[in-house]
Amino acid sequence: MWTWFHRLASPPSFYTFAERLAPWLLAFALIATGYGLIAGLWFAPRDYQQGDAFRIIYVHVPAAALSLSLYTGMAIAAVIALVWRIKLAEVAITALAPVGASFTALALVTGMLWGKPMWGAYWVWDARLTSELVLLFLYLGVIGLDAAFADRRAAARACALLAIVGAVNVPIVKYSVEWWNSLHQTSTILKFGKPTITTDMALPLYGALLGAYALAGVSALRRMQNVLLLRERRATWVRELLAERAA
Amino acid sequence: MTRRQTRMIAVGGLILGLGLAAWLGFTAFSKNLMYFYTPSDVIDGRAPAHARMRLGGLVEKGSVARGDGLLVNFTLADCAKKVSVRYEGILPDLFREGQGIVATGHVDDGTFVAEEVLAKHDENYMPPELADSLKTDTGHSCMPFKPVAEPAKTAAAAS
Amino acid sequence: MSGLFEMGGYGIYVWGSIGCALAVFAWNLAAPALQRRELMQRLADPEAMENDEA
């Protein structure tokens, strides 16, 4: 187990592993997202309360779930990078930040487009919306910090610290709607107990969720490959790879 | 001790310290993170007396009375108490009896005069036919409207 | 069929959200692919690489 893990964490074998995995993950992402969106927009019944406006759930919930999952992943990579100094973990921080930032922005924008017709306002400063906005700034902070250092190891260490400090915000976003009064409603499916959504509405949502996770996975793998190529550009395996391509 | 173990302890200490600081911060600022007061807060004097504030609750069944033009009177209730509300303006699409509402305004002579009314829908989704066949009232639960005084206790009771 | 575009009057919000989502999905796939193509070209030229500390 440990030897397998160590071998995978070496840059050339991870590069090869990602190269093999990404196309399959992409195919799965397209199928699942396609099913989720088509079934959600077309075949799922309209909601008794919100009518067709509830269909925004099929993009809003996957985006919001990813914004938290990707940050959690980034914070775990940050702990590994700080304690074990594994290069691949440092690369993961750099690669996950832009993917997470894009899904956080998507969660905010789709939330605003959902809030206007249903709540009556694009934006309110309640605990959920405010903490999700803080999450976007944390992602942008990691991206900015990473770009500010010329030395890659120093950049990784600074980003790892920020990622760990910012992880405090993840449970706040998740539980804000239960701990405090908010305009945002509590969780429908990502909670303990029975989901409070009927099956014909929920299945497309699970499809869209799985699809978005796979798509974010592909994006993160590809970005990690790019960061590895750049950081290891003088290494033999990269030179060989480039020579192979040229031939 | 190896250097890796030192780093492990340092990172562990950082995480522990952060968690503690965060917990202390929330306990201290929990009240400020509440988006709205509830009817119970207003009746029991926990809400600011004349200042502008937000009031959240359920529109009581049978309480909506429309007046001239856009004027509307209704009662907002949480699990325990109720407050009458006066509002003149455009209501959100989701406004109906039994619906969760967050209104911005101030208390004037025992009545809450609202300047803005937002709808707070719940986390339940179902097709209209099912909602009809359930026959039970599709009004919302009063549980999300937590009095500001004891947020932790009511949250625990809700879960 | 027309109901699908109108979305019961909420068409602009629903389709606006879907549009934003598709744009983010596409960016997440396209950006790393473009970056990689550019990177491969740059790294393939060893002389250019020595001067540049990217």
Query: Could you report the per-residue pLDDT of C21-44, keeping only the tens digit for each?
Result: 999 999 999 999 999 999 999 988
Same domain? B18 vs B61: no
What is the residue-averaged pLDDT of chain C?
Answer: 85
Q: Which residues of A touch C49 (CB under 8 A)?
A: 233
How many structural domains comprise chain B? 2
Q: What is the dihedral of CA A211, A217, A222, A226, to 10 degrees?
A: 150
Q: Residue B159 above 50 pLDDT?
A: no
Residue C26's nearest CA partner among B27, B50, A109, A218 is A218
Same domain? B29 vs B103: no
Task: Look at residue B116 and tell me if it is in a domain.
Answer: yes
Same domain? B68 vs B23: no
Confidence of residue B149 (pLDDT cuts 50, 70, 90): low
Measured distance CA(A66)–CA(A99) in Å, rounded: 9
Measured distance CA(A212)–CA(A31) in Å, rounded: 11
Q: What is the pLDDT of residue B137?
A: 56
* Cβ under 8 Å to B: A residues 153-192: 161, 164-165, 167-168, 172, 176, 178-183, 185-188
Measured distance CA(A169)–CA(A141) in Å, rounded: 14
Same domain? B110 vs B141: yes
Q: What is the pLDDT of residue B156?
A: 42
Residue matched to tokens 């996975």: A217
Same domain? B70 vs B139: yes
Same domain? B41 vs B99: yes
pLDDT digits (tens, 9 = 90+) for B107-120: 988 899 999 999 99
Among A48, A176, A181, A186, pick the best mutation site for testing chain B contact (most B Cβ within 10 A): A181
Same domain? B59 vs B126: yes
Percentages helix, strand, coil for chain C (3-state, rounded to 5) are: 90, 0, 10
Same domain? B59 vs B96: yes
Same domain? B28 vs B55: no
> Long-range contact list for A235-241, CB < 8 A, 24+ apart?
A235/A11, A235/A12, A237/A11, A237/A12, A237/A15, A238/C43, A241/A15
Which has more confidence, A101 or B125? A101
CA distance B10 to chain A (A): 9
B117: containing domain: 34-147
Q: Which residues of A touch B94 (CB under 8 A)?
A: 49-50, 118-119
Task: Look at residue B4 and tell me if it is in a domain.
Answer: yes
Q: Percent of chain B beyond pLDDT 70?
A: 89
Same domain? B4 vs B51: no
Q: What is the pLDDT of residue B157?
A: 43
Contact A57 B125 (CB under 8 A): yes
What is the residue-averaged pLDDT of chain B?
Answer: 83
Q: Residue C49 above 90 pLDDT?
A: no
Q: Residue B60 above 50 pLDDT?
A: yes
Task: Look at residue B157 and tell me if it is in a domain.
Answer: no
Specify the CATH number for the domain of residue B77. Answer: 2.40.50.140
Contact C20 A52 (CB under 8 A): no
Confidence of residue B152 (pLDDT cuts 50, 70, 90): very low
Task: Look at residue B158 and tell me if it is in a domain.
Answer: no
Contact B94 A50 (CB under 8 A): yes
Q: What is the pLDDT of residue B136?
A: 56
Q: Which residues of chain A have pLDDT under 50?
A: none
pTM of the model: 0.90
Contact A226 C8 (CB under 8 A): no
Same domain? B92 vs B128: yes
* CB distance B103 to B87 below 8 Å: yes
Confidence of residue B32 (pLDDT cuts 50, 70, 90): confident
Q: How many CB pairs under 8 A join A and B?
A: 134
Q: Residue B44 above 50 pLDDT?
A: yes
Q: Which residue of A has its CA nearest to C24?
A: A102
Q: Which residue of C has its CA nearest to A235?
A: C43
Q: What is the pLDDT of residue B153?
A: 42
Beta bridge partners of B113: B86, B106
